[in-house]
Structure 1
Amino acid sequence: MDHRRIAALGCFVACMLAQGCGGSERGSFSQLGEGGDGPADPGSPPPGFDPAEAPAPSPAPAPAAPVDVVYGHSATTLYKLDPKTKNVAVVGNFDCSSEVTDLAIDESSNAYATSFSAFYAVDLATAHCSLVASGSFPNSLSFVPKGTVDPASEALVGYVGSTYVRIDPKTGSIKSLGTMSGGYVSSGDVVSVKGGGTFLTAKKTGCADCLLQVDPATGAVIQDYGSVGYGSVFGIAYWGGAVYGFTDAGELFSITASGGTVTTTPIAMPGAPSGLRFWGAGSSTSVPAAAPDGTSFPVK
């Protein structure tokens, strides 16, 4: 288990015991910087009421528009990837109190991050961190769609080893939801998309950094797509029928699957800083589930 996982897992287990819980795609790299008497009949309009002057009823809330960006990060810096052009840009440096270990983004592009000692809300435009709670938290995070864990709202979930947990974004409280079987443990990250699937990088004997489809309600394994061909894939995101991988070695690549075969394609980052290491990634649950040509990642 890598340095990031060992530190986070040790802290998390202590917290749980104490609380009783839970061809190459090209791109470019650039820097970017809430009395009186009433009518006799309560159902009748007041005197002088003109129906034509009544306000129009409020329209039903529109569904979240698809988001055309995914995010990756090192321990200290937030990056964004345009999945259409494959351009990578720096958003900014985190001002969290310790190194950031993962990121999750809901359907409205509200973001949250964990570090070795705290849980934060994050501004995706500036990388500014706002402390929600101190303590130990999972380092694989994602929101899952409404109707999976919670019938009324999206849920923030994560894995610590093989244990699947839910985190309250308002308080940071943690609740266990289930456990993966089959000898799998999380090796990196989890990501989910409405109308698509929920995916996890995991390892077990004979397979390091395999890509799994998991049940967003229980965390159980649905299918194993096999090895992604990269090591220490600490971050994954999703957009338009593809999973995007971010490694501790600073590698960025896309993952597609067809006919039971996983294909990875590297994404170049000209001008990337020397020694770049990705520690996590995230994408909104409202990103497009399918590519513009209708191709989607195969799920059960």
Structure 2
Amino acid sequence: MPWLQGCERAQEAPVSRWVGASFERGHRLRTLKSGSLPVAAVQRRAGVLVIGGGVAGLSALHALDHAGHADAQLLELEDQAGGNSRGHIVAGLACPLGAHYLPVPGESTYEVSAWLHDIGLLRSDSAGVHANERYLCHSPQERLFIDGAWQDGLLPSAQGRPATLAQYRRFAALVDHAQRELGFALPTHRVRWSPGHAALDEQRFDAWLAANGLDDTRLLGYLDYCCRDDYGAGIHTVSAWAGLHYFASRHGFHAPGDDSAERDAVFTWPEGNAWLVRELAEPLKPRLCTGRTVLRVELQKHGVQVLAWDETAGQ
């Protein structure tokens, strides 16, 4: 639609396009029927094959490489690895396409901590572990536009809303209780799975919230945002375990006025987590096969057969 530049109306609409997501390649899976898949023009063998070059896939290949699997390879649909942590350039300025910060890892996340030591983001001495100040943001500041005005922080203000504040405090107490009684950690397998965890995982988060008398629209809206941010699904879809894990595995939940509420320090860069992707992918370049759309994965008697479309070669 037409847009305004100064006081004059432009004659043409600005050009817009998708950046970083080759949806045509993904749609190839939908349009190709299993009986009409092309015949492979080239056959290759690999001892281990990782499918998908997001941070999880790159981390898997990194671990395989360190474990001595010299014949491990990775297939990635896009022309650039990194998934939701890739970056972009706009008018010469670096910017993130998705994930844009990394919390300083806690004690249970020692694999991440070890890698951050390797790439110079953390260092250890007799006084403890120190983060590289060049990339550290001690006090991230966020703002929310609500009720026709800007406010500090993403949690909607409870000023003049005693019922909202009471529910914020009740949810904070429930998160604290879950932390102490059940335990939550990143990665999740650092805490033993218990019947209490299973009971939470068997019910939806929204149902658990309702059962605990939590129905304030501001609280529910914020929790829905948090779940969509981490899981890609809201409180009506994720389990109560997932909803609590978002907070209980990290910094908890803090109601307004809670003096202990201090946001964890985070690493960040102009290009977001693309900085980390570059550090992770560069040593693995010879093993990264980008522009490969995986069409089929078949488990066979003596291995796995993968059919992938080479987007550059067209075969």
TM-score, scaled relative to structure 1: 0.22
Counting strand residues as a fraction of each chain, which structure ranks higher? 1
Structure with the bigger RCO (C-alpha within 8 Å, sep 6+) is 2
Bigger Rg, structure 1 or 2: 2
Counting helix residues as a fraction of each chain, which structure ranks higher? 2
TM-score, scaled relative to structure 2: 0.21
